[in-house]
Amino acid sequence: MRPLLDRLFAAASRTAPLHRVIAVAMLLLLPAIFTGYLLDDNLQRLMALRTPTQLGLERAPWDLFTFFANNPEQNRRYVEVLGAGPWWAEPTLHLSFGRPLSSLLAWFDYAVAGWGPVMSHLHSLAWFAGCIAAAALLYRRLFGATAAAMLALWCFALDDAHAMPVTWLANRNALVSALFGILAFAALVKHTRPEADGGGITPRGWALALLGFAVGLTGGEVALAFAAYFVAWVWFAAGGSLRTRLTGVALWVAAVIAWRLIYNAAGFGTAGTGLYIDPGHDPLLFAGALLSHPPVLLLGQLLPLPAELWLFAPPAITLTWSALGWLAFALLALPVWRAVRGDRIALALLVGALLATVPMAAGIPHDRMLLVPGIGFFGLLARIATRPGASPRLMRYLVVVHLILAAAALPLRAASQRTISAHIDAARDTLPAAATQPGHLLVTLHAIDMFQASYIIAWRVAESLPAPERTILAGIGLRPVTVTRRDDHTLLLQQEGGYMSQRFDWLARHPSHRFTLGETHKLPGGTLTVETLTADARPDRLALRLDLPIDDPRHHFVWAGLNGFVSVAPPTAGSPIVIDLLP
């Protein structure tokens, strides 16, 4: 086995034409072109085509990443008039991301070229091919035409953590911003003066790097992570006087601040959500995320362990997971320091890769966030592994984990991305036809998540299918719910262990916005009251009172599981029903 691994390591380290690396990566990612539209893709299609709906999703071509505008009145209408927003959503919910270049690219796909999903996915693959080519340029400038450059490139190209940015069209923004960020880093490296000439960056280098960084930021916030590499390179690798290095660091800090001011002035940002943290609005919450999120990403980079599983783990597991990440960091700190000591390039890559996880802490840990940290991580490991006398264990680790296992997992993970939207597509296709009649009301007693039922109007319209005028979503979660009839107008719903027990349930509400006993929410065709709370102030029992009698034929009661909507007769007096989405 060892001779085979050694031969694989030697083959990966041998100089190969760039087109061969790209061809292998594209071949492994071919399943991506058959995944169709996922999650936000359907919303962006409606936005780009300016399809008229009661949701009012028409957007400018450069603004397709505004999902909830900073508009409390519009949010109220989503919930109270249409039922297209969950009742627990904060009135100030704001999910708007400034990604004009990526938005224009999506608009081109849908509104200009009129492409279907296959061509749009090929478009995304082209951007990833560009990222691979840019990484090849960067590694060659860092290491020359060496085994380290080739090995780092293979590891980056085959990393299975890249499956979602390549496969999910709405996540193409990560590829767009990463491409220009990598080119900016390469420009900084190329235009670094030799130490004999005093070190530092030439004016041309600064101009090209700042330009690449600015264009990357128009692609998406992912480009922010490259500021970590720029600072690390200026401080550790570029040389020059202390004043020169301090000036360089200050320049990148100023660039980030300028971006943030423009971002805010344009109305972009997030608020009222438990899954995205805006460091400018919630600095203390972001500080807490810095303790828990980066170590999960570190383990996701080191091991074939998808970081996104952290999202669905119980609190005890998530705490342990983060603690294990810090433990791994502590155990590796000394040997890694010994390996990079005296090597300014390796040190810059190490510090850059670590600091690149800082802006990623604003979101829930996910392997798709490893695109930028992976640039430095693979460059660092390849540089160390190809030194004379390098540890054979490190070589075997790279071959087994980041070449063999990663290459095997890449097509599987690309193909599996379709499952993240399968339950929503199933709901779209199983909606009772009668629920789309004028004046009728779709009442979803329970669903897996808010997308499955709240977005049913958008999902149906996107496929040119009739959609319900009004909907009610009573609750979400994976645990069983007992539904009881109190009177002719009122249903009581109680979920085992209480509602909002999963981290993902808090997308539309910040956990610090506590529920209160007796709070009432106006919904289309009824009202919902939180009658009892759990010990940690989550909803326990809900009372859904409909304006018309429960048995009115214009009401259509359903629950939504993995296979879509299932029609259900409301309970009779004294005979409750139990809804179990995962029997």
Give the DSSP H/E element, type plus range, for residue 561.
strand 555-561
Q: How confident is the model at residue 10 (pLDDT cuts 50, 70, 90)?
A: low
User: pLDDT at residue 320 above 80?
Assistant: yes
Establish if 319 belongs to a structural domain.
Answer: yes
Q: Do both 397 and 464 map to the same domain?
A: no
User: pLDDT at residue 1 above 60?
Assistant: no
Q: If you average pLDDT over residues 182-187, what whole number do you get?
A: 96
Q: Do both 425 and 411 map to the same domain?
A: no
Average confidence score pLDDT of the chain: 90
**Do 313 and 323 contact (CB within 8 A), yes or no?**
no
User: pLDDT at residue 5 above 60?
Assistant: no
Q: How many Å apart are CA 262 and CA 204, to the nearest integer?
A: 25
Give pLDDT, residue 11. 61
Q: Do both 366 and 222 map to the same domain?
A: yes
Q: Do both 10 and 131 map to the same domain?
A: yes
User: pLDDT at residue 8 above 70?
Assistant: no
Establish if 73 belongs to a structural domain.
Answer: no
Look at residues 397, 416, 435 and tell me which one is the last residue of a structural domain: 416
Q: What is the DSSP string of 297-318?
A: HHHHHHSS--GGGGGGS-HHHH
Establish if 70 belongs to a structural domain.
Answer: no
Closest-CA residue to 64 (of 109, 37, 96, 112): 96
Q: Do both 195 and 296 map to the same domain?
A: yes
Give pLDDT, residue 194. 83
Instruction: Domain count for the chain, please give it.
Output: 2
The structure tokens listed for 315 are 């609190």
Establish if 168 belongs to a structural domain.
Answer: yes
Cα of 568 vs its chain's centroid, Å: 34
In this structure, what DSSP letter does residue 146 have?
A: S
Establish if 482 belongs to a structural domain.
Answer: yes
Q: Do both 147 and 189 map to the same domain?
A: yes
Look at residues 363, 386, 416 and tell me which one is the last residue of a structural domain: 416
Q: How confident is the model at residue 6 (pLDDT cuts 50, 70, 90)?
A: low
Q: Which domain holds residue 544?
A: 421-579
Q: How many Å apart are CA 91 and CA 418, to the nearest integer?
A: 31
Establish if 131 belongs to a structural domain.
Answer: yes
Q: Do both 199 and 340 map to the same domain?
A: yes
CB atoms within 10 A of CB 489: 16
Establish if 106 belongs to a structural domain.
Answer: yes
Q: Do both 432 and 410 map to the same domain?
A: no
Q: What is the DSSP string of 203-264?
A: HHHHHHHHHHHHHHHHH-GGGGGHHHHHHHIIIIIS---HHHHHHHHHHHHHHHHHHHHHHH
Establish if 92 belongs to a structural domain.
Answer: no
Q: Do both 236 and 274 map to the same domain?
A: yes
pLDDT in tens, 232-242: 999 999 888 88
Q: How many Å apart are CA 439 and CA 554, to the nearest integer?
A: 7
Give pLDDT, residue 582. 74
pLDDT in tens, 110-142: 999 989 999 999 999 999 999 999 999 999 999
Percent of the chain clearing pLDDT 70 (strictly above):
97
Q: Do both 12 and 116 map to the same domain?
A: yes
pLDDT in tens, 536-577: 899 999 999 999 999 999 999 999 998 999 999 999 988 999
Q: Do both 370 and 432 map to the same domain?
A: no
Q: Do both 411 and 429 map to the same domain?
A: no
pLDDT in tens, 420-459: 888 888 998 999 999 999 999 999 999 998 888 888 888 8
Give the pairing type, strands 441-447 and 470-473: parallel
pTM: predicted TM-score of the whole model, two decimal places? 0.91
Q: What is the DSSP string of 327-349?
A: HHHHHHHHHHHHHHTT-HHHHHH
Look at residues 388, 416, 444 and tell me which one is the last residue of a structural domain: 416
Q: Which sign does the torsion angle of CA 191, 195, 197, 201 carry?
A: positive
